[in-house]
Structures are given as structure tokens and as C-alpha cells.
């Protein structure tokens, strides 16, 4: 647990469960209850709550957050702002790069200041905050962002990795 920085998000553990990490990540991110988030995902009659990028993007779009295509990575240093991160072992967690906090629902307590997990892809939910320039005016960092994922990529159960319209999002420079 990081005692020096305030936690931007409430921490929720999935323990002792081995499923539900994506729902717990969305619960931490949105402040919604587990049941409210879970109700937004169609698992059919499955009792285990395993989530995919499509499930998470569908919930984010449904609550009005601008979503983009997940970006592949193997380094935490590639991730800026606040992001949902898929890590090796088929697990989701929330990472706040600005404060260096890892919200891993598989841990009993959190957030943590380090993670042994290896990221495989991430979705920036909130970009890096503005920085203060020498004159005290807010200035924004420049970052390369992906264009928004078409809604059908998350709504129709189509895998974003396999769909031709979702696989190759346009990249553009976004100055904030």
C-alpha cells in the first residue's frame, strides 16, 4: 500500500474468487457496484465472470466514456495516465501511471507501488493530467492516441483483435 500518495480510486479485491477481475477493475474505475457492472455484461448462464476487452469496452461505451483500441505493450513505462491493463496470465488490473499505483484486484490489499506482472495490452481511460509550465499556465503533454473503436466492435461480440475494422485503428497526434 502506498501511504505517501492519496488513492485516486477505491480498491476492491476479487479474493478469494479467481474470476471477475475485469468487473472489479471497472468497479474501481467507475465507483459503480460489482452487481451493476456485472449486469452490463452478457455472460448468458455462465456463473464464472471472466471478461474480455470487448466486455470492458462495451461497459465503458455504455456509461459514456470515450473508448479507444487497446494498445499492445510489454512495458509499464509505455503506459501514461490511467489505464486498464491486461497482463500475462489473462488478468486485468487498473494502473495509475501518474501516481505509480497498481490496482490489482487479485491482491488482498492495494493499491500497490510495484507489480511483478507483465503487461500485454492497455486501454488509456484518462490521459495524463496537464503539467504546469514555467509561467504557471497549464500546458498539456503530447501523446499519440488511437482513434475510437467503432461501437459494433464491443457490442456485437466481435473480437477487436480479429475484426478488420477494429484491428487497424487510425493513429493521430493529439496535443492536450
121: domain CATH number is: 3.90.70
Is 5 within a domain?
no
Q: How many domains does the chain have?
A: 1
Dump pLDDT digits (tens) for 85-120. Answer: 999 999 999 999 999 999 999 999 999 999 999 999
Dump pLDDT digits (tens) for 141-162. Answer: 323 233 333 333 333 333 333 3
pLDDT at 42: 83
Which of 105, 119, 82 lies closest to 24, judged by CA? 105
Cis omega (within 30 of 0) on the bond before 111? yes
Is 30 within a domain?
yes
Do 45 and 51 contact (CB within 8 A), yes or no? no
Report strand pairing: 71-72 vs 119-126.
antiparallel
Do 20 and 35 contact (CB within 8 A), yes or no? no
End-to-end CA distance of the chain: give it in Å, rounded: 31
Is 12 within a domain?
no
- Compute the mean pLDDT over every residue in the chain, rounded to the nearest whole number: 74
Q: Which three cell numbers stand for residue 158?
A: 466481435
Is 148 within a domain?
yes
Q: Which range has the worst mean pLDDT, 3-7, 51-55, 68-72, 87-91?
A: 3-7
By residue range, what is the domain housing residue 26? 21-175
Is residue 171 pLDDT above 80, yes or no? no
Amino acid at each position: 500500500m502506498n501511504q505517501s500518495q492519496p488513492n485516486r480510486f477505491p480498491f476492491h479485491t476479487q479474493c478469494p474468487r479467481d474470476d471477475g477481475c475485469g468487473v472489479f477493475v471497472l468497479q474501481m474505475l467507475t465507483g459503480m457496484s460489482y452487481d451493476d457492472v456485472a449486469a452490463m455484461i452478457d455472460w448468458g448462464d455462465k456463473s464464472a465472470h471472466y471478461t474480455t476487452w470487448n466486455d470492458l469496452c462495451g461497459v465503458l461505451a455504455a456509461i459514456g466514456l470515450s473508448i479507444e483500441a487497446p494498445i499492445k505493450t510489454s512495458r509499464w513505462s509505455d503506459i501514461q495516465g490511467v489505464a486498464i491493463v491486461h497482463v500475462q496470465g489473462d488478468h486485468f488490473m487498473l494502473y495509475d501511471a501518474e501516481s505509480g499505483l497498481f490496482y490489482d484486484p487479485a491482491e488482498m490489499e492495494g493499491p500497490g507501488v510495484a507489480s511483478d506482472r507483465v503487461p500485454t495490452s492497455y486501454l488509456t481511460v484518462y490521459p495524463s493530467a496537464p503539467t504546469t509550465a514555467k509561467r504557471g499556465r497549464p500546458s498539456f503533454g503530447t501523446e499519440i492516441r488511437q482513434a475510437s473503436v467503432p461501437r459494433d466492435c464491443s457490442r456485437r461480440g466481435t473480437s477487436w483483435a480479429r475484426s478488420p475494422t477494429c484491428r487497424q485503428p487510425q493513429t493521430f497526434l493529439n496535443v492536450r
